[in-house]
Structures are given as C-alpha cells and as structure tokens.
Structure 1
Amino acid sequence: MRAWTTLLIVICFCLTACGGGGGSPGTPGPTPNPNPPPTATTGTLAVTASGLPAGTNASVRVNGPSNFQQDLTGSQTLTGLAPGSYTVTAAPVTAGGVTYTASPTTQSAVVTAGATASVTVAYGGAPVNIALSQVASNLDNPTFLTAPAGDARLFVVERAGRIRIVDNGNTLSAPFLDISGRVFTGGEGGLLSMAFDPQFAGNRYFYIYYTDPQQNIVIERFSAASNPNLADPTSGLVILRIPHPGFTNHFGGQVAFGPDGYLYLGTGDGGGAGDPNRNGQNLNSLLGKLLRIDVRNASAAQPYAIPAGNPYLNQAGRRAEIWAAGLRNPWRFSFDGNQLYLSDVGQDRREEVNIGAADAAGLNYGWNTMEGTLCYNAATCDRTGLTLPVFEYDHGTNDANGCSITGGFVYRGSAIPGLQGRYFYSDFCRGFLKSFLAGGGNVGEQRDWSVGDIGNVVSFGQDGQGELYLMTSRGIVYRIVRSTTP
C-alpha cells in the first residue's frame, strides 16, 4: 500500500513539471520572419592586378559561363556573376621599353553563389628588344610579302611582275607567277601587292594589284595550280581596271581582304603634285580612294558585285565601289581584327596614319583640303565632315624625319609576346623601324627601334603565323625577331 502511494505522488509531480493539468506554458520560441531574405543566386570575383608601374594599364580578360567576357585594365571586383568556373587571362603589357608578363598567364577561379572568389594577377617586367634576321636576298625590287594562313612559305612580290616563293630560307628558282611581260614599271608602277582569298584552301584563288602598259591600275584574280608552288598563268580573270592617265606616280598599291570577307584596294589620286585633277574629293572617280568590292562570285560576265553597305550605292554621280575618299597615295593599309590602319603618303609636310573601325563607311580623309592635320589648300580649308589622322609626323628640315611613310601591320605573332598590339611602320626616305600602341583614339608607347642600317624600306609583310617582315630597296627581306642584346 505504501508503494502505491509513493508511485502516485511521483506521477503527479511529473505531470506538474511537464505543464500538464493547466500548469505554466513555458518560454515561447522565436516568431518566424514573414519576409525571409532571398537565397543568393550570384557570386563575386575580385581580380587584383599588381606589379605594373603607376599609370600603366593591365590587360586582363575574364571569361565565364554563358559566354561571359569582360576586359579589365586594373584591379576590379566583378559582381552579379553566375556560379561556375571563370578563366582569367593576362596579356603582356609594355611600358618604357619594358614588357611586363603575368605568371601564370592564365588562372581559374570558381564563383559560388553568395561568396567572393579572388585572383591575383602579378606582373613582372623584362626589357623587350628586337633585331632583324635576313631571310632572303638578291630579289628584284621586292614590294610585298604574304602567305595563306598557317602556311610556312613566304610569297614575295617583285615589282617587275613576278611572285617568288621563299621556302625554309630558300628562294625557289621557278616563280610562283610571272606576268612581267604585261606590267608597266615606269615611275611608281609595277606589280605592287597580292592577297590570298580567305577561302584559298578550297578555291585556290589569289588576287594581284599591278599597273598595265597603258598605266591602268589592274586587279586580277589567278588560281594556284595542282603544284602548290606554281600558279596557273592561264587562269587570270581581270576584276577591275582603273584608268590612270598622264602621271606615273600615285598608283596606290594595296589589295587586301577585310574582316567582312570583301576585297579592299587603296588607289592613289592619279599623280602630280597637289592632286591637280582633284580626284581625291571627286566621288565620281575611283582614284584617291579606298574601294570595297565583293568578289566571292566573280565571273567574266560579272567580275564583282557591290556590297550592300557601301555608302554610295545607287547614288547618281557617285561610284558605288567607294568605301572612303580623300586619299593622296595610300601605299599600304592593313586590318587588325575590326580595326583599319591606313597610312597615306604626304605631299610637302606631313605623313599620316588613319586608325578606326573597319566598318566605318563613307569617311573622307581630307586630301587635298588637308595634309594630315595641316591645311593644304588654305583658301578652302573647311574641315567639316573630314576625318583627321590619329597619328602623323612632320618631315622636318631637309626631311630629317622622313618624307614617305611605309605603313605596316599590328604585331599579332607569337614569337615575341611583348610586341602584341604594336603597329610597326617605316619611312622610305629614312629607313627607320618604329612602332606605337593605339587605343581610345590616341597613340602611346612610341618607340624607335635600333636595328642598324637597313636602307630604304619599301614595304612590310606578314606570314601565315602572324610574324612580321620588311623589304628593302636592296632586294633583302628581313624578319623581325627577338634580340638577346639591349
């Protein structure tokens, strides 16, 4: 009986402690938030750039999911990024003759939602020096050099009307093409340049720019033969013939394919001092212009078509082939991605390089109203609607700085990373080798490279791997290479 009484007392005590029987309800729990914060869906990437001199921009590209891409010029924190793996690539930067390279050049970072990933791009510097390496000699007035993309051979154009192949340092005895019997070489005439079709691997087409015995400017297409070191001399198709009567100078000379796949050619103003025939500003003349034509379906019946975006298409009194006007003698121009570098030889005072978007149609570069940024014809010096050069230099007393610019290319090869993005040029009268870096409508990092006495530089060239060459009036072809000496 006493045991039962004790059990009942214990049961009653437990019920009271547990709140049973109307006891204390205990301490209430936290009240749920009716508006909870959203779950993070994006992350952050902090990129830190170090090791560059003050005022020098980094060159960093970030790639990530969903085709994300952003270029950075310094330390920056990127927010709102989709989770995933990001690649950070740093290109070399040159300042004050020193190239700064990041190590490693490529890094990866994983961005997670609600968190910050970090990458440090650490640059280290070393001087950049170049030299010229002779790759061919005893050529007959070489005027140009090119090659199909990826091809190890060099195709060197000779003014007399031949194209020679240099293969592994050896100039082949048989010319790739010889049209010397129908080329006018008086004055500034001759076989002046060539361009391989973007689809050369499939269609075997290439195009040449020359002057014929009547002094006309001729653009003609040929095909390579079954022997890859020979062209088919019977395959010629004249694409365009431009009359150039009277004077024997200012033929222009460049033919090249643009990033849009169309064929461009730069024609001189017809010759004579000061453009006496006023061709540069005459939109009914093909002289003194940059022309753009479509040759993809060229045939004898219709050798070219007019691209739809040409600025003077279907305009009375204006030639539809014209892409840009106001040029004196655009001996050389080149494309760098979607940028056009167009050098124009000056008259008495200024040599110029025009730089802009390759798809900018209808520009007027000013000749003969302007010579560079100087008024050439002071009586009618109206700059309205004119595009002035991004870069120019004065001849100086007794042409101390030069008198005839030889435009080149932007370096995009792989042998000398420190030269990436630099535009190289020379001057026929002074034989120097110079470069600059263009960006934002300005030029910087100008450098005069000490490469010794090389004579008159006639032209630059670019091989199938993007390496650069220059040709001299001495019949020598040089390649720009890295130098191990300061």
Structure 2
Amino acid sequence: MLTSHLRIILATLALLLLSACGSDDDEPSTPPAGNGALTVNLAGLPAGLPAVVRISGPASYAKTIGSGQTLASLAPGNYTVSADTILSGNLSWSASAPVQTATVAAGATAVVNVSYSSSTLALTVREVASVSGAVFLTAPASDTRQFIVERSGRILVMQDGALLGTPFLDIRNRVAAAGEGGLLSMAFHPNYASNGWFFIYYTDAANNIVVERHSVSSANRNLAEPSAVLEIIRIPHPGATNHYGGLVSFGPDGYLYLASGDGGGAGDPQGNAQNFNSLLGKMLRLDVADARGAQPYLIPPSNPFVGQSGRRAEIWALGLRNPWRYAFDGDRLYIADVGQAKREEVNVAAAGQAALNYGWNIMEGTLCYNAAICNNNGLTMPAFEYDHGANNINGCSITGGFVYRGKALPELGGRYFYSDYCGGYLKSFLYKDNSATEQTSWTIPDIGSIQSFGQDGDGELYLIAATGKLYRIVRAPKA
C-alpha cells in the first residue's frame, strides 16, 4: 500500500500536470495583466431578433456577436464595431451608426452603444434585356458579363448592359423546342477560368434529354469553340413533350448535377419517378473532372446506389415530378418541384445527403396523390409547400429561384426567392431551424408570368418573364 507521504507527492504532481494542460476556453480565466475590455450594448431590436455585430482589432482579433455583451481580455488598441443591417420579414433594422471605433486601454472597459431603428425594405425590378425565348441567365463567378440562354438553342452574351451581336453558342440545328423542350440551361465548370468548360442541358429531335460539355474559344472569350463538344449523357424521354426538368449545375463537391422530369403525362403514368432503373424523375450526380470520349463521366463512389443491382448508380435522389429549377447554397440544396393539380413544393436538404425520396407519385407535397391514404415511410416531406387554391389563386406551377448572396441588398442574405408561373409574384422565405420562416411577399411591378430566375457572377438575382424580358431585382427608391 502507498504511504501517506507518497500519496501527497502523487497528488501534487497531478495538480501540476493539470495546470500545465490549461483550459479549452477561448479566453483565459484570469486576464493577462495589462489587458482591457469592451462592452457592446444593443438597443432597438425586437425581442428574439439577433443582431450581427462584428468586432475586429489588434492581433487579428475578430468576433461576431448576436446580443449585447462584454468582451474581456482584449489587448489594448483600437477596435472596430460594425453592425450589419438585419431583415425580419420586409422590415429592415439598421444601426444609426453602423461602424464605430472604440479604444481599449489597459485595465479599463470601453463602451460602444449600437442603436437600431426600422424601415420597410421595398424591392422593384429593372429591365435589363429582351430576348425572345429566354429561359435562363448565369455567369462565371465574379464575371461582369451575363449569359442568356434561349430555348431555341442560342446563348447570348450581355456585356455592360448591351447584348453582343454574335451568339456565344448557336446549336439551333440540334435543339427541339417542342412543348417544354429546348435549350434549358447552362453551367460553368468551377475551374472555368483555367479549363474553359461549360455544360448545357437541352432536348433533341428524338425527345431525349442531352447534356454536353463545350469549351470557350481561346481566341475570343465571348465565343464558344464550335468543334469542342463532348456528349456527357443522353436520357431517353419517349412520348410526352413536357416534364424535362431542365437544370444542370455544379454542387459544392465539384460534381455535376442534373434534375430530370418524370417523363410527362399526368400522374407519371410510366412510374418513372419511383423506378430505380430509370433516370427520369431524379437528381443525378456525375463526375466529369476527367471527361473524355471513351468515358464521358464517372460515377462518384459516394453515390448512394453504387453496386446495387437494379438501381442506376447515377441517381442521387428520386421521387421528383418536374424539378424545373433547383439551387445550391453552400452546403444546402433547394429543389422546387412543380406539382400536379393541388400542391407546389420546395424541398430543402443538406447538399451531401444522398438517397432522399421526395415522394412523387406517391405524394404531391404532403398530400397523398390520387388516393385517400398512402404509405409515406421513407419519404422526405417538403420543407415548404402551398396549395393552388380556388381558381389557382395562389399559383399553379412553382418557379424555383436562388438564395440571395449578392452585395447590393445585403440584408436579404440567406433568403430563398421563388415565383409561380400563374401567380407572377415574387416571394421569399428564410430556411432556419429546419423550417421556412419569415415568409414574405414582395410588391413588384406586374411583369406577367415568371418562368425562370437568373443569377449573375456577383450573386445578384434576375427574373425572366414569359415575354422574354429579363429584369434585375433591385432596391426600390425611397418615396
């Protein structure tokens, strides 16, 4: 047995070791001598609405707070306190002094008071172009140009507010625009600046869905290289000329995604959306990093149905009716899926969450489709939905948009925007705590049916009307 003297020695050593290990806390329990503190007081915000106040200072100090507090153990020096404008519904809360400077002295506490007041945020639209058959607008990141996709098979470039006379791409001889078909979207490769690759999604004369890779001309960045074409995938779409889906894009993981419709016909008569051996009614995920003629794409090994008999390995998600538009926002995916006759829906999931079944044609939104009861086990319910209402008063066909991440309207950051072809409105919600909050209707001029959204290289959003006119969403001037 240990002697009492030895026990004392061991206990003393243990205390010394714990002292040497320190603490996991961000700030030491006892502030070093010579440091000071900064108290930030917030006033004027409604209860429950968090602020976004950024504090920066000496030695690369940076901290963001959502409520008033005292920051201790600060090195002496000048600190900048910046208060972001906060949006709640369409009420914008701004600090009377959005940027303040405080000097922290050793052994003292500096105080900064941030006072907020509210005003109504109003949006409007500004026409930027008119292109017959326009269905999409996009641009490479930080590029000042806008690329406008025409259903007939052309891509036009708008530079400094003017359309260039020569199309970026013209494949009208290979595109069939019957029904809902045509050239429906394009996506720039994440490394477009170095490899010049972009991808297009269109329907051909045989009614197939086709995704191709093209390249920009090395001699003129406003022109595509006509001979540099690689077919990535061709999906048979026999019969109906609707429900093609229509969007191709890159996810945050660098893989190529495309969302196909169920093949058309009321109620998915072929049962494609729930058929694991069909590529219709699905979200597909492909690796095109080393695409070439003999092997235009690889299957990412993390795709959920790799190696499973009777299940196509390209499938990332299933149970979609007509996902006309979807959008990635960081590590989150928003899919707007057009309903049959009663419900329109937006599905929200983690971008890395595979094998989700969004329910069609077992369900339409959270309703059993064409049945009094149904089994929804294993199905993912929409994060947001709305009923058409009597005489389609709420709409009839959702037009999915994007999450705003631009700089012109910073208070809109994180809001997902959408419209409806029959409604012609502009609405948004904030997806927070697993629910669609702050559902807001924005009053904008009547521009008719809205068939698509666009997003430029700076993250600003555009509306594309059925008339072919394109509008940028902007801040309305104060009355």
TM-score for both structures, normalised by structure 2: 0.86
1:264·1:292 contact (CA, 8 Å) conserved in 2? yes
Match of 2:125, SS state, is strand
1:186 and 1:50, CA in 2 relative to 1: closer, same or farther beyond 3 A? same
The aligned length equals 449
Residue in 1 aligned with 2:314?
A: 321
Unaligned runs of 5+ in 1: 1-34
TM-score (norm 1): 0.85
Question: Conserved in 2, the CA contact under 8 Å of 1:283 and 1:318?
Answer: yes
Partner of 1:378, secondary structure, is: coil
Give the one of 131, 147, 154 matched to 2:146. 154
Which of 192, 197, 203 is residue 211 of structure 1 equivalent to? 203
Shift of 1:43: 8.5
Q: Deviations over 1:340-364 (max 9, x none)?
A: 1110000011111112211111111
What residue number does 1:454 align with? Answer: 447
After superposition, the Cα gap between the structure-2 partners of 1:407 and 1:96, relative to the gap in structure 1 and judged at 3 Å, is closer
Equivalent residue, structure 2, for 1:414: 407
Aligned-pair distance for 1:325?
1.0
Larger radius of gyration: 1
- Aligned pairs (5 A) from 1:80-479: 89-102=82-95, 104-105=97-98, 119-137=112-130, 139-225=131-217, 226-378=219-371, 381-479=374-472
The one-letter amino acid of 1:484's match is P
CA contact (8 A) 2:36 2:76 kept: no
Q: Give the direction of change, closer, same or farther, for the CA distance of 1:308–1:121 in structure 2 (3 Å limit).
A: farther
Q: Which amino acid aligns with 1:303?
A: P
CA distance in 2, matches of 1:113, 1:40: 11
Residue pair 1:48, 1:76 contacting (<8 A) in 2 also: yes
Q: Judge conservation of contact 2:321–2:337 (CA < 8 Å) in 1.
A: yes
Matches of 1:208 and 1:56, distance apart in 2:
42
C-alpha displacement at 1:142, in angstroms?
A: 0.5
User: How far has the Cα of 1:121 moved from its partner?
Assistant: 3.9
- Give the AA of the match of 1:363: L
Q: Deviations over 1:120-141 (max 9, x none)?
A: 443332321111111111x121
Displacement of 1:91 in angstroms is: 2.9
SS at match of 1:132: strand
Written as runs of structure 1 = structure 2, the 5 A alignment for 1:50-61 is 50-60=43-53
Equivalent position of 2:473 in the other structure: 480
Structure 2 counterpart SS, 1:418? helix
User: Percent identity at matched positions?
Assistant: 58
SS of residue matched to 1:292:
strand
The Cα shift of 1:117 comes to: 6.6
**Which residue does 2:11 correspond to in 1?**
none
CA root-mean-square deviation: 2.8
| Alpha-carbon separation, structure 2, partners of 1:298 and 1:43 | 58
Separation in structure 2 between the aligned mates of residue 69 and residue 291 of structure 1, nearest angstrom: 40
Where 1:125 maps in the other structure, the secondary structure is strand
CA contact (8 A) 1:187 1:248 kept: yes
TM-aligned CA distance change 1:116 to 1:352, over 3 Å: farther
Following superposition, the deviation at residue 101 of structure 1 comes to 2.3
Distance 1:124 1:166, change over 3 A: same
Q: Does 1:49 align with 2:22?
A: no
AA partner of residue 469 (structure 2): I
Counterpart amino acid of 2:162? N
Measure how far apart 1:452 and its partner are.
Answer: 2.0
Alpha-carbon shift at residue 61 of structure 1 (Å): 5.2
How far apart in 1 are the matches of 2:104 and 2:315? 50
Name the CA shift for 1:369/1:114 in 2 (closer, same or farther; >3 Å).
farther
Contact 1:369–1:380, Cα closer than 8 Å, also in 2: no
Helix, strand or coil for the counterpart of 2:173?
Answer: helix
Give me the whole-angstrom Cα distance separating, in 2, the residues matched to 1:260 and 1:384: 29
Return closer, same or farther for 1:219/1:119 CA change in 2, 3 Å cut-off.
Answer: farther
